[in-house]
Amino acid sequence: MDDYAIVINAGSSSLKFCIFQRPEGGGWRQDSRGQVDGIGTAPRLRVTDGESHALADSQLDAHAVRDATSALDAVATWLRSHYGRSRVLAVGHRVVHGGARFTGPARVTPAVIDELRALIPLAPLHQPYNVAAIEAVAVALPDVPQVACFDTSFHRGRPEVAELVPLPKNIRDAGVQRYGFHGLSYEYIASVLPQVMPEVAHGRVIVAHLGSGASMCAMKDRRCVDSTLGFTALDGLCMGTRPGALDPGVVLHLFQGLGLDAGAVETMLYKKSGLLGISGVSNDMRVLLDSADPAAQLAVDYFVYRAAKEIGALASVLGGIDALVFTAGIGENSPEIRRRICESSAWLGLEIDLEANRRSGPRLSRPGSRVSAWVVPTNEELIIARHTAAMLGLAEARA
């Protein structure tokens, strides 16, 4: 009987999962990955094997699959049909916010769940679904240990000035500080830098995680020095539906000048701004790039402008830059956005190789370029599997 571990990344309308299997006598390896998307509207289960061949692709009953618990039931049904009588040894979760306390992965207990729930107001787009998935697994598989892995942990231990929110001490003492997010993605990238770019891996590297959520991380010797996200995942770069850096006076004006209530402001900041807010068309970069609408083009222009500006700021924090790495949905798949960001960063000594960029690298810069540029596909699930295996004393997980 083979053993397996499940990695879960639960969002508002999708539940992504990865299965790591350990054949009898062997080590852990990724066996399949899948997701239930359209939860609450038109749920669909899709699963592929290690070679990206489809193992399942089916529409699910919208009445039956309406939340994390029922989505997990659908996944469990498929797992039983596909993996038969194998044993689930562990479940690892992506959890967006670990607050000040969780500086590394944590074995899930009822007390840990309470602490994660208390952080929901700081990450309303993700944390409720992360917690719901943990609770659903606790009900469905009460004897299986769970491990929570945090997007904030990789950023812990930065210089004090990089974590500071310059408000009065009593506010800071209540936990208001810059945390940083996308840490599981950055941790994966940091782990592969020595293989992908040994000549600069231990130098000054800016990693641009450009997906629906977007941020950048400045690394020195593969450790985080600073990042563009802060107390919440609203700061820094322009994102799909979030504005990125915003004068706090604007938020005051929304309350005092325009009379919006807290719920309306939260919805505006998390769900209606960024690419969607500027364009009025879509939060999807592909749609914007294909659109002739001037507002869509303005959204793309602002995305690139903001990215170039943050690269300049992080390069200054690092005292120069050796390499720029693109990852996540937009970073891995959009030659146009990469080209435009690289061209805006030419003043740093980055010379893009247009042909290599079209082929998606992995190296995007010309051989003589003082700053090199790269595409590295991220793998947050592998990092979660590794942490889960390590915490439970299981053997190392491999892609």
Q: Which residues 6+ apart lie within 8 Å of 270 measured at CB?
A: 124, 125, 234, 241, 242
In the bound state with ligand ADP, the residue whose beta carbon lies nearer, of 334 and 357, is 334
Of 379, 350, 377, whose CA–CA distance to 364 is shortest? 350
Distance CA 222, CA 315 (A): 15
| Residue 17, strand partner residues | 8, 34
Please give the residue ranges that form the binding site for ligand ADP (CB under 6 A): 211-213, 240, 284-286, 289, 328-330, 333-334
Residue reference for tokens 């508002």: 12
**Is there a catalytic annotation at residue 151?**
yes
| Residue 56, strand partner residues | 47
In the bound state with ligand ADP, the residue whose beta carbon lies nearer, of 213 and 236, is 213
Strands 44-49 and 54-59: antiparallel
In the bound state with ligand ADP, the residue whose beta carbon lies nearer, of 102 and 303, is 303
In the bound state with ligand ADP, the residue whose beta carbon lies nearer, of 242 and 363, is 242
Provide, rounded to whole angstroms, the least separation between the CB of residue 270 and ligand ADP.
13
Catalytic residue among 151, 226, 235, 322: 151
Helix (H) or strand (E) segment spanning residue 340:
helix 335-344
Distance CA 192, CA 376 (A): 9
Provide, rounded to whole angstroms, the least separation between the CB of residue 281 and ligand ADP.
12
**Angle ∠(158,245,323) on CA atoms, nearest 5:** 55
119 and 101 Cβ atoms separated by less than 8 Å: no
Provide, rounded to whole angstroms, the least separation between the CB of residue 277 and ligand ADP.
14
Distance CA 384, CA 376 (A): 18
In the bound state with ligand ADP, the residue whose beta carbon lies nearer, of 22 and 182, is 182
Residue reference for tokens 């969780």: 102
**Does residue 182 sit in helix, strand or coil?**
coil
List the structure tokens of 350: 């980055």
Provide, rounded to whole angstroms, the least separation between the CB of residue 289 and ligand ADP.
6
Distance of CA 79 to the CA centre of its chain: 25
Provide, rounded to whole angstroms, the least separation between the CB of residue 119 and ligand ADP.
19
In the bound state with ligand ADP, the residue whose beta carbon lies nearer, of 98 and 240, is 240
Provide, rounded to whole angstroms, the least separation between the CB of residue 154 and ligand ADP.
17
138 and 215 Cβ atoms separated by less than 8 Å: no
Please report the DSSP string for 248-271 in residue order.
Answer: HHHHHHHHHTT---HHHHHHHHHH
Phi, psi of 18, deg, nearest 5: -135, 140
Using Cβ positions, the residue closest to ligand ADP within the complex turns out to be 329
Distance CA 229, CA 180 (A): 5
In the bound state with ligand ADP, the residue whose beta carbon lies nearer, of 36 and 318, is 36
Residue 329 CB coordination number (10 Å): 18
Helix (H) or strand (E) segment spanning residue 343:
helix 335-344
Provide, rounded to whole angstroms, the least separation between the CB of residue 341 and ligand ADP.
13
Provide, rounded to whole angstroms, the least separation between the CB of residue 155 and ligand ADP.
17
186 and 219 Cβ atoms separated by less than 8 Å: yes
In the bound state with ligand ADP, the residue whose beta carbon lies nearer, of 98 and 329, is 329
> Which residues carry out catalysis?
151
